[in-house]
Amino acid sequence: MHKDVESILVSEKELQEIVERLAADIDRDYEGKDWLMVGVLKGSILFMADLMKAMKTDYPIDFVVVSSYADGTESTGRVNVLKDISQSIVGKELLIVEDIIDSGNTLNFLVKYFLAKGASSVKIVTLFDKPDRRKVEVPVEYVGKVIPDAFIVGYGLDYAEKYRTLPYVGILKPEVYSNQ
Ligand code: IMP
Ligand code: MG
């Protein structure tokens, strides 16, 4: 285990089971549809890649990069689009792939943003949900795992751009971010 990780919250094996369950649900619901999977970089990268491999259907993908954290552990509430989607989404059904929903600011912004760009529907799959921290209600169709209010890292999730490459998800030791 990494020295900055307090405990492992979700093992590699459990992550795989979660991804397989979500992949089967999405395969079933989107079969035969004309839709686009949109990953929110960078946190969703490993989750989205594993989801794509676990799914049986074929579909196009795209990415957006947004930022609201500025290297801290609290959302600033302002969401900036640092890299926009690279195609027209007019009339398309979108499924946003996110690593974690916390305050809800990011996904609340993105759903409105994509609908304003002409998407016919926008749904969400998130690997993790921290409902205790919600500031804005966002309907989420697919949730991997509901977790307690702790700052987690690994499997794509970072703290100040670190720990993304860990193959499991761990709770970060509070002393790592409390004295910054
Ligand atoms: P929200 O806008 O507050 O819902 O935050 C969503 C974004 O904050 C996610 O896409 C993550 O990038 C980041 N985030 C929230 N909680 C955590 C966490 O526990 N670990 C790592 N990143 C997090
Ligand atoms: Mg993110």
Span 116-131, pLDDT tens digits: 999 999 999 999 999 9
The residues facing 152 across adjacent strands are 171
CA 28 to chain centre: 20
| Closest residue CA from atom 12 of ligand 1 | 43
* Reported pTM: 0.94
Q: Apex CA 135: angle with CA 133 and CA 43, to 5°?
A: 65
The candidate with the shortest Cα–Cα distance to 49, out of 143, 164, 176, 156, is 156
Tens of each residue's pLDDT in the chain, 180 residues? 999 999 999 999 999 999 999 999 999 999 989 999 999 999 999 999 999 999 999 999 999 999 876 556 666 678 889 999 999 999 999 999 999 999 999 999 999 999 999 999 999 999 999 999 999 999 999 999 999 999 999 999 999 999 999 999 999 999 998 865
Q: Name the strand (E) or helix (H) holding 176.
A: helix 174-178
| Closest residue CA from atom 5 of ligand 1 | 102
CATH number at residue 147: 3.40.50.2020
Which residue of 41, 65, 69 sits with most ligand 1 atoms within 8 Å of its CB, as the best mutation to test the pocket? 69
Residues with C-beta less than 6 Å from any ligand 1 atom: 40, 43, 68-69, 75, 98-106, 151-153, 157
The structure tokens 């195609």 sit at: 87
Burial readout 60-89 (b: 16 or more C-beta within 10 A, e: otherwise): eeebbebbbbeeeeebeeebeeeeebeeeb
**Ligand 1, atom nearest to 106 Cα:** 2
Is 29 marked active-site? no
Q: Decide: helix, strand or coil at residue 100.
A: strand
Catalytic, out of 50, 102, 129, 158: 102
Looking at residue 81, what DSSP letter applies? E
**Ligand 1, atom nearest to 151 Cα:** 19
Q: At a CB cut-off of 8 Å and minimum separation 6, what does 135 contact? A: 75, 77, 103, 104, 105
- Counting the structural domains of the chain, the total is 1
CA 100 – ligand 2 centroid, Å: 7
Domain interval for residue 170 = 5-177
**Ligand 1, atom nearest to 79 Cα:** 2
* Residue 72: predicted pLDDT: 61
Q: Is 42 exposed, middle or buried (0-12, 13-18, 19+ CB in 10 A)?
A: middle
Span 70-100, pLDDT tens digits: 556 666 678 889 999 999 999 999 999 999 9
CA 177 – ligand 1 centroid, Å: 15
